[in-house]
Chain A
């Protein structure tokens, strides 16, 4: 290895190497001069003589550099300088190349950047690689109350913490919401509930004060402690030092601020930040609830433990854990299912993220799309470079004939690609930073600010650099190799216009264009499917009228109303709300449709000749709900305020409920029973009305059976509710009126998030809109690039056949036949591309099944439309040079010879 060692040393210590050479040469000449002086020569004469004897020092140094293995560096420098000069002389080629590369690389890097941020980047904690998360294997089946993506209950966490041996410092955390301040000053805050060990296990140090220890999280903590996030500390408390030790009222809770987390700690869920961290012990009733799945559990693998071993261990101890935490108040079948649940461990370095789960497929699909665009762009550049190389074939042939090595020529052509790729990558990186910011802005909505740290890290730069190198090789090396391996004899003999090496060279270019067309077809089909999906969703009729409706949340918990007074208080509030001139009607509901939440209960039809049971969505509403949402009542009657606890249970069901459970029976007067759940004993409801079908939690899902029950008949009255409000006129004036009313009712009443329903529904479609917009950009972009590629190739072929075509015309070929001749070639190319593209598209779109809506991923009409569009554009692009060929003037063509 001495060679490599010496070369490396010389390479990396280039300055030292130069100094060493200079010193050695200087030492030699001075020693020689000293010897000459000693033999009696005059000093100045001796110095001159010594220099003369040594010879041209610079020349020798150059040879020394070569001998030291550094010659190629100097050669590379020359190549690069030459490449820059050549590209400056061809500004159009250079700018087209750089621009398309910058677009391709920029788009790819931007998407990869997002993938990295939401998916690959580790949590900002110490040694993230050791983190593991404990989860219920294959989900717990939606029993009880869930807060996706969390999936542990506190009692279960306590059991796991007590019994498992695989992980150190086991901790749990969950999200919540509250508000700080009073009346008009009220400000919503995002809570992070954590167990006492959390910050210690994560290795996070306080920016101010201290963070929680297990002592802060003792059961029944009389006086809670609170830790502020850096951003809340700054925005709400102006970064004041004296906040530490101050009491803070967090809605219903009194807590003392003990510290501030550092700015780098955004929380434990990527894309979801927090304002205030509180110990789990202060979380109230959910602490002992065995059916509230709201926690995520993490820990550090003990030395010597792997994820697999930890999983096996957790699975083994699962039966005891679940047996010890059986939820009460459920039907036996639900409890039996609970007993079969098992735990597993998963790597936790990247945290968990609902955002990641929601956007995973989309992001990878976007990355694939941008990758395909980049490949199409690369193919174009390869073609362009090749065409240019052909034009320079004579130059290369001369240089080869004069003794330049093929390696040398390859290097020189590669240097040009390298310069282009490097510039393209640089511009691409700049573009990516802007683009990824734009995409995140696009995804941000008023309710979901998506806090993401969009600083680029080494991985993104490495990705961009890798793209740059790959593109350089893809379009540079192919072209370079082909040019450098020209046979100089043939190239010099043939005339320049025929491009040097005959027709077989076009085969490669034809293949490139064919593949470009195939790739474009896949992208266009994808874009069309996503656009249709978006349109289908936007124009979808959910079964109710959304325009003119606002949604709001009110909470009267701080008034401390006893349960029996809650329902009347809420009804009074609704009456006052409906009396506002700005409001036409208003109603409470336990589920605002299309917001993603869901409430399912088991139902059983009583008195049916055959047993009919299943599960249905259950929504508790106040009487004005159907009026406010404009859901048509098909039969029977609406709820009235007389439907309360004292009267018998009544319900209004939708058409799907009837189809599923009451097919063939007259629904009115039928009675169904809901299954037993904690807080919800078995109850019977008589159907008094039928309403039209409506969408329930999401636009994308099928219609589900829904049973509506009067809010007054809910087993446990709540002191807060979601409200739907239909505006009497403009929606814009409603929020202020409602805010005034709430403040007037009681200064302790809280109003959260009053907003226009339409806007919010549109915001739930943000992912579909983004995919439609981006694919709608990338698909046509690829098509245009491919069309340019075809145009270029056909122009080039025509120009090399100019003479031949002239001869044909001179011999009597009609213009139409010449046009046909050239077009036939292009049609063959396009046809081949489409033949490859259709099966490729069918294959690729299988991947999109989860993304499309109301259109088959193999929709033949879409594919046909894409084929027709692409064929028209491509043949249109080929038509321009073909017409030029047809108008060839034989006299001119023949005279050129």
Chain B
């Protein structure tokens, strides 16, 4: 399938991104991440929850009980203003890192 391992520290960013597109319950976050990464990244399902709890405690996410599509009680996570700021900052950092990394990794002998 060509799945890539998740880089350390990227799970939080992915969760923030996923939730920024609309409130989600935990399983929904998983599905959304698979959807927006087109299944290219493997996420340990259980690992999602400590990350969600950590982000909630840090004030990046807010959580409330609600009703899921299949009419069951589920806990929905929403992005807080702090979470939105964090998402923006980290996205910028990430983009800079990625372009720097790819520039570095694409360097050819004649360019040195």
Give chain A's interface residues, CB within 8 Å of chain B.
Answer: 2-3, 6-7, 20-21, 23-25, 27-28, 31-32, 34, 53-57, 59-60, 63-64, 66-69
B34 to chain A, nearest CB (A): 11
Q: Which residue of A lies closest to B82 (CB)?
A: A2
CB distance from A17 to the nearest CB of B (A): 10
Kindly identify which residue among A3, A31, A34, A67 contacts B53, using a CB–CB cutoff of 8 Å: A67
* Proximity string of chain B (54-89) to chain A, C-beta cutoff 8 Å, 1 when within and 0 when not: 101111000000001010111100001010000000
Residues of the A chain whose Cβ atoms lie less than 8 Å from the Cβ of B50 = 60, 63-64, 66-67
In Å, the complex CA distance between A495 and B58 comes to 47
| Total interface residues in chain B, CB < 8 Å | 26
Using A27-B27, A28-B26 as known contacts, say yes or no to A54 and B75 having CB atoms under 8 A apart. no
* B25 sits at the interface (CB 8 A): yes
A529 to chain B, nearest CB (A): 60
A67 and B27 within 8 A (CB):
no
User: Which residue in A7, A24, A53, A67 is a CB contact (below 8 Å) of B75?
Assistant: A24
On chain B, the residues within 8 Å of A53 by CB distance are 45
Summed over the interface, the residue pairs from A and B with CB atoms below 8 Å come to a total of 72
Instruction: Decide: B46 and A56 in contact? CB cutoff 8 A.
Output: yes
Of B44, B47, B57, most A-chain CB atoms within 10 Å? B57
Report which residue of B27, B51, B68, B73 has the largest number of chain A beta carbons within 10 angstroms of its beta carbon: B27
Select from chain B the residue with minimum beta-carbon distance to A53: B45
Pick the contact of B57: A7, A21, A60 (CB < 8 A): A7
Beta-carbon contact of A60 and B25 below 8 Å: no
- A751–B48 Cα distance when bound, in Å, is 90
A6 to B77, CA, bound (A): 14
Query: Do A27 and B53 touch across chains, with their CB atoms under 8 A apart?
Result: no
A68-B26 in contact given A54-B46, A59-B46 (Cβ < 8 Å): no
- Our pick among A2, A6, A56, A60 for the contact of B49 (Cβ within 8 Å) is A60
Apart from A7-B57, A55-B45, A56-B46, what 10 extra A-B contacts exist at CB < 8 Å?
A: A2-B58, A6-B57, A24-B49, A24-B75, A34-B70, A55-B46, A57-B46, A64-B49, A64-B50, A67-B51
Interface residues of B (CB under 8 A from A): 25-27, 30, 44-51, 53-54, 56-59, 68, 70, 72-75, 80, 82
What's the Cα separation between A851 and B26 when bound, in Å?
74
Measured between beta carbons, the chain B residues less than 8 angstroms from A60 are 46-47, 49-50
Q: Within the assembled complex, what's the spacing in Å between the Cα atoms of A59 and B45? A: 13
Is the beta-carbon distance between A27 and B46 smaller than 8 angstroms? no
Considering the complex, give the chain A residue whose CB is closest to the CB of B25: A27
Query: Could you tell me the distance between the alpha carbons of A68 and B27 in the complex, rounded to whole angstroms?
Result: 19
Q: Do the beta carbons of A27 and B72 come within 8 Å of each other?
A: yes
Bound Cα distance A32, B43 (Å): 14
- Contacts A23-B75, A24-B75, A57-B46; A31 near B51 (Cβ below 8 A): no
Which residues in B have their C-beta under 8 angstroms from that of A54?
Answer: 45-46
A6 CB contacts on chain B under 8 angstroms: 56-57, 59
Closest-CB distance, B46 to chain A (whole angstroms): 4
In the assembly, what is the distance between CA of A321 and CA of B73, in Å?
Answer: 77
In the bound complex, residues from chain B placing their C-beta under 8 Å from that of A57 are: 46
B70 contacts across to A, CB distance below 8 A:
31, 34
Which residues on the A side are within 8 Å of B74 (C-beta)?
Answer: 24, 27
A68 to B80, CA, bound (A): 17
Bound CA span A59–B82, Å? 29
Chain B residue contacts of A24, Cβ below 8 A:
25-26, 49, 74-75
Contact A2 B26 (CB under 8 A): no
Bound-complex Cα distance A271 to B63 (A): 58
The 10 closest A-B pairs by CB, nearest first: A2-B59, A63-B50, A67-B53, A60-B46, A55-B46, A67-B54, A31-B27, A67-B50, A28-B27, A54-B45
- Which residues of A have CB within 8 Å of B48? 28
Least CB distance from B67 to A in Å reads 11
* A376: min CB distance to chain B, Å: 45
**B6 to chain A: closest CB distance in Å?**
14
30 contacts between A and B (CB under 8 A): A2-B57, A2-B59, A6-B56, A23-B73, A24-B25, A24-B26, A24-B49, A24-B74, A25-B46, A25-B49, A27-B27, A27-B73, A27-B75, A28-B45, A28-B48, A31-B68, A31-B70, A32-B45, A34-B70, A54-B45, A55-B47, A57-B46, A60-B50, A63-B50, A67-B50, A67-B51, A67-B53, A67-B57, A68-B56, A68-B57
